[in-house]
Chains A and B, each alone.
Chain A
Amino acid sequence: MINNISKKLLSFIIVLSSFQLSVIAQDGDAAAGETLFKNNCAQCHATDASVIVGPGMAGIEDRRDAAWIKKWVNNPAAVIASGDKYAVELYEKFNKTQMTAFPAFGEAEIKNILAYIKQANSAPAPTAAPADGAAAAQAQDTGGGQFFNIVLVVLLVIMGMVLVALLAVLNLLTKLSTADGEEYKSPMDALKANLKGLAADKTIRTAAVWLFIILATKASLDGMFKIGVHQGYAPEQPIKFSHKLHAGDMQINCAYCHTGVYKGKQSGIPSSSICMNCHNTIKKESPEIQKIYAAIEKNQPIEWVRVHNLPDLAYFNHSQHTTVGGLDCANCHGDIQKMEVVEQRSTLTMGWCIDCHRKTDVNSKGNAYYDALLTAHKSTSKETMKVEDNGGLECAKCHY
């Protein structure tokens, strides 16, 4: 039985593959065409009918002949300028985006590419299914968080009910156990009697007072050390911009948007023109991105909330730390590429600055400025040159 099925399957596969072979055995070389298409065309054209930037290529041979296609690929601008009706309509239809010219393509290359397009369209499309699966998995993922929350709430309610039931049972049991003549005492009264006994004890009273004093002192000291320290500050921003998506998943470098970070004192807040470099196309309809469009139309600033604030009494320069010192952004800002909402991870206190200046070696590699300093340092010390050796602890470096 199984043998029979496998034989049938085998013959089916043979028929399929011979069918594919017959497709390849056309006048163009589809394999060469595939390389050409993927290197030069696939960025804007799909082999099927879907539009990426330009039209999908399915059925192109029915629409245009090979000679026209060659003329167009070699110099699209000239074909449009010549007033070719089809070309002009194409140009208008695709928002007047002109195709890049490929003057080096001869007849053979065009034929190879056409053969590849034909082959790709005759083969079954296997890519659609996994993409759907991934989308479904993602949808489930986002549902997961909410489900978890509901479970937590239900568990809390159940726990509350169990507590009430237990108290009721306790009440009942005490009532039953005191049934024979004794005066009934509720658990609350029993607890009170116990507490009164404890409070009457002098040692315990003194211990309680001391415990209170010690805890209160610690709490107030901790509180005072937090004055002016914004660690953990993660304000809600006017637009729900996700650093996790942009810097993490999309791997856009920090300096692409924070253009000043290697050049100046401030890393800078990107202007909306930088957002528009991508969002002129990507997710234009999202309500969050429409806020950028609205700001541009009304010529109003987007009021981002600054997260990392140094007091005015301290001077800090980004370029000195990034370009000269060679530090990564994450050194001070933490794993920004994992944050949906940016949070201040470091304390940014003076002690924190000083600590790093004491521990960190001066980044003197390939920087002739430090050569003489290094020689001078070596003559007096066996240790490597730290930032503190170069005046990194002097008051006036940061406070003036």
Chain B
Amino acid sequence: MKNTKSYIAIVFSLIAGLSLVSCNSHDDTGWEFAPNMYNSRAYEPLTQINSNSINPGGLNMRKPVAGTIARRKFNTKFTQEDGSVVEDLMVYDFGKDDLALAANVKNPIPWSEQAEEEGKVLYERNCMHCHGEKGAGDGKVAAKYKGVPNYSSDALKNVSAGHIFHVITFGKGRMWPHAAQVTPIERWKIAHYVARLQIGG
């Protein structure tokens, strides 16, 4: 009887020791000191502590009122190669089906090595996983998504910068619109780099 008691004591202390070592839970942020300085008192969009009782979905964020126009954070005046200055607000009055119309719009950003290089960086961030490193439609995701064309194919090797701009904005065929992710000025820069890929790099 006495023996069983001591056995129980040993087992219990072992369990206690183990639980002390293994109590590092991945679902827990651990102790905090003075959380009133950690958690914002003002409403913040991505550091939300409590559910918001005023807004739909309990979110701190609200959708902008319908018809809101985003304030432009970018340059709107571009000096062309011939010295003339083109002012382009990059707000175009064409819709999803106006591809032919958009194809006539000229790229307001004149070609320069720097513009193409910036386009390349943006292409690698936003397009490459489907369209492939050289625009052959052989990105890793394209193997799953299917139907990603080759930029240098006969159908696409001659399309204009305006066409490319429209496709990024509104999508085409199986590709969905990327206007929310890629700003107009970024789209024009990407068009410069895609032009390079159309002639095979």
Contacts and interface: CB of A to CB of B under 8 A. Distances in A.
A235 B150 contact: no
B28 A43 contact: no
Interface residues of B, number: 54
Interface stretch (A138-146, A278-286, A351-359): A278-286
B173 A312 contact: no
21 contacts: A43-B147, A43-B148, A52-B147, A100-B156, A103-B155, A186-B3, A227-B30, A228-B33, A234-B27, A235-B27, A253-B128, A256-B129, A271-B180, A274-B180, A278-B141, A281-B146, A301-B57, A309-B29, A309-B47, A312-B37, A312-B40
B46 A233 contact: no
A280 B171 CA distance: 13
A339 B134 CA distance: 28
Interface of A: 39-40, 43-44, 52-54, 97-98, 100-105, 186, 188, 192, 223, 226-230, 232-236, 249-253, 255-256, 259, 262, 266, 268-269, 271, 273-274, 276-278, 280-282, 299-301, 306, 309, 311-313, 341, 343
A268 B38 CA distance: 20
**3 smallest beta-carbon distances between A and B, as pairs:** A53-B147, A311-B38, A312-B40
B71 interface: no
Given A40-B153, A44-B146, A233-B29, A253 B46 contact: no
B45 A266 contact: yes
Interface of B: 2-3, 6-7, 24, 26-33, 37-41, 44-47, 56-59, 124-126, 128-129, 137, 139-142, 144-150, 152-156, 173-174, 176, 178, 180-181
B154 A255 contact: no
A299 B39 contact: no
Given A256-B126, A309-B47, A98 B29 contact: no
B194 to A, nearest CB: 16
A281 B30 contact: no
B67 to A, nearest CB: 20
Contact of B173 (A100, A103, A269, A271): A100
Contacts of B37: 311-313
A167 B173 CA distance: 74
A268 B176 CA distance: 21
A226 B155 contact: no
